Structures are given as C-alpha cells and as structure tokens.
Chain A
Amino acid sequence: GAVVSQHPSRVICKSGTSVKIECRSLDFQATTMFWYRQFPKQSLMLMATSNEGSKATYEQGVEKDKFLINHASLTLSTLTVTSAHPEDSSFYICSAPGAGRETQYFGPGTRLLVL
C-alpha cells in the first residue's frame, strides 16, 4: 500500500525556536495533505489542509502565522511551528489521500517537545 513518511520522528527544542516537520508521500503523488495534532490521550484534531501550489486551509482556532505550511511539490508538505512554546508540545501527524477508494494514509507522526 501507499506509504507516508514523516521527519523527524521526534524533536526536542527550546522555547522560542522554530521547528520544521516534513511529510512525504513515498510512492504516490498527493495534491492535498492533511496535518493533525494529537495531545496525550486525545483524538486527532485536524489543523490544516495543505494544497500543492496554493495556500493551506486552516481550521478554526489554528493560527496560520504560527503553523506555516508549505506544499512545494506533489510529494512533500512541510509544517513549521514558529516560535514554539511548551503548549505546542504534541504529536503531529500528517496524512495523504490515496488514489483509490481508500481515503487516507497516515504518517508515523512526529513527537514535538518544547522545553
């Protein structure tokens, strides 16, 4: 089946720094990718929809200037958490729709810890 990778798998950073997370579709093209955030013991919450060649669409309550999304190619979307703070510590997961009826393939997630 289709594979989605994320890099890095985990990152620890100091408060105030920026962190970039990559999401790649390895054997298929994805004009759309989705970014989710998951806090401990909670469900996945959609943050934004990443669109290749155009601006991302953000969910209500998600700051677009804080969570910068760039979908530069048909296989890569990046999420940059700018000026990260401890409350941004979470598990960030991306997904990409497959070509068939199967809806989405999820990446393995990136654990972010902001100190």
Chain B
Amino acid sequence: GQQLNQSPQSMFIQEGEDVSMNCTSSSIFNTWLWYKQDPGEGPVLLIALYKAGELTSNGRLTAQFGITRKDSFLNISASIPSDVGIYFCAGQLSGSARQLTFGSGTQLTVLP
C-alpha cells in the first residue's frame, strides 16, 4: 500500500531540546494525524488536523497541516525521557471511510 515519506527516520537528542519531524505525500489528504507508539503497544493519537494551514497544539506538541494538503510537521518542545518512542504521521483521504495511510515512522531517543 501507499506510504507517506516521513523524516527523519531516527533522532537522538538531549533532554530539554526541541524536536521536529515531518511528512510529505504526493497525494492530497483531508486529515493529517500524528501518533506515538511505544514498544509492543498500539499507536496513540497525539494530534489531529482537519484543515489546510491549521496549527494545533497539545501540551508540548505542535503540529501543522500544510497549506498544500500534502505535508505536515510535528514539533516537540523541551523533550523529556518519556517522549521516547516511534512517532507516525498518518493521512486520511477523502471518501476512504476513515482508512489511514501511515508514514514510515520516526524513532525518537532522548538522552538524559
């Protein structure tokens, strides 16, 4: 199936640093979502974006829906050890009955 291009693939950062990751697609999406997955668990929704240009925050997390509808980024400010995990972007096409297409993931490691 189709996948989104997500980068970077992995990141090693110091505790307290800010993090940025992004996703791009050749297709237009009506909804962009960002999930976090801990080892051995299912993804947990972090932020949902429904309008082009929308900028949404959830605590230390901020995400934006690109104006072209083909990209999105996620920023994490002042990282903490529990931010460790894999972050996935996901896009939802119009008329797809909420079917999601996932990015390849960004493995985040926070060093103390």
A residues near B (Cβ < 8 Å) are 4, 6, 32, 34, 41-46, 49, 59-60, 91, 93, 95, 97, 101-109, 111
Instruction: Count chain B residues whose beta carbon lies closer than 8 angstroms to a beta carbon of A.
Output: 25
A34–B98 Cα distance when bound, in Å, is: 9
Question: What are 21 A-to-B residue pairs whose CB atoms are below 8 Å?
Answer: A4-B42, A32-B97, A42-B105, A43-B3, A43-B88, A44-B102, A45-B1, A45-B102, A46-B100, A49-B99, A59-B1, A102-B48, A103-B33, A103-B98, A104-B45, A104-B98, A104-B100, A105-B45, A106-B35, A106-B44, A107-B42
Most buried by A among B35, B41, B101: B41
> With A59-B1, A104-B100 known to touch, is A44 a contact of B43 (CB < 8 Å)?
yes
Q: How many A-B residue pairs have CB under 8 A?
A: 61
Q: How distant is A21 from chain B, measured CB to nearest CB, in Å?
A: 13
